[in-house]
Structure formats: C-alpha cells, structure tokens
Amino acid sequence: MKIKEPLFNYINPSIKYSIENEDSLTVLKTYKDEIFDLIITSPPYNIGKSYETKTSIEDYLATQEEIIKELIRVLSEKGSICWQVELSVTSTHAICLN
C-alpha cells in the first residue's frame, strides 16, 4: 500500500526538535511549562531488563508519578502523551502499568 500523503509533508522543517538521552526527570525540570505538543516515551519497565535497575513496585510507581507530573507540566493544552510500558511481574502479582 502506498501512502498518498506522507507524514513528512506536514512537518514544518523550521520546527526545532530533539531526542534526549539523559535522566528524564533532570531534563524535564529544565523546560518551561506547556512547550510540547507531543511527548513520546517508553519508561523503564521495572522487570529486570539488562539496561534498568529493578526497584520495589512502590518506589517505581513513586518515580513514575513524579515524572508524569513533569510531563503534564510541559505538555501544551492541545498536546498528547504516548506512553509505552509493560507488565510488572513478581512471584505473586502481575501489575499492568499502562
């Protein structure tokens, strides 16, 4: 299937964009309020992947809550957040974090 109207025809080349590869909370605190129309994020899953440090579910959720508050602060009134997470699994529970 050929796309008749490619997305890139709608992107204004003068718009500044960036991909940040730093601690999200530290970076978010440097931004002004309501400056982003779109935020795409895939936070750590807290399931012991090689690139993350697994913590208690309570600590994980507290950290994510703090980050979500900052994301909402920097999101414009017309903006959207795309949030990708998985399940947090313990020996007794599977908690959907979506």
Q: Is the pLDDT of residue 97 over 60?
A: no
- In this structure, is residue 74 part of a structural domain? yes
- In this structure, is residue 36 part of a structural domain? yes
pLDDT (0 to 100) of residue 33: 98
Mean pLDDT over residues 67-72, rounded? 95
Q: CB-based burial of residue 39 (10 Å sphere; 0-12 exposed, 13-18 middle, 19+ buried)?
A: middle
In tens, the pLDDT along 9-20 reads 666 778 777 778
Q: CB-based burial of residue 71 (10 Å sphere; 0-12 exposed, 13-18 middle, 19+ buried)?
A: buried
Q: How confident is the model at residue 66 (pLDDT cuts 50, 70, 90)?
A: very high
- In this structure, is residue 25 part of a structural domain? no
For residue 76, the enclosing domain spans: 30-96
- In this structure, is residue 44 part of a structural domain? yes
Mean pLDDT of the chain: 81
pTM of the complete model? 0.70
C-alpha to C-alpha distance for 47 and 12, rounded to whole angstroms:
38
- In this structure, is residue 39 part of a structural domain? yes
- In this structure, is residue 1 part of a structural domain? no
In tens, the pLDDT along 21-41 reads 888 899 999 999 999 998 888
- Give the count of domains, the chain: 1
> Which residue, 49, 69, 73, is CA-closest to 61?
69
pLDDT (0 to 100) of residue 27: 93
- In this structure, is residue 12 part of a structural domain? no
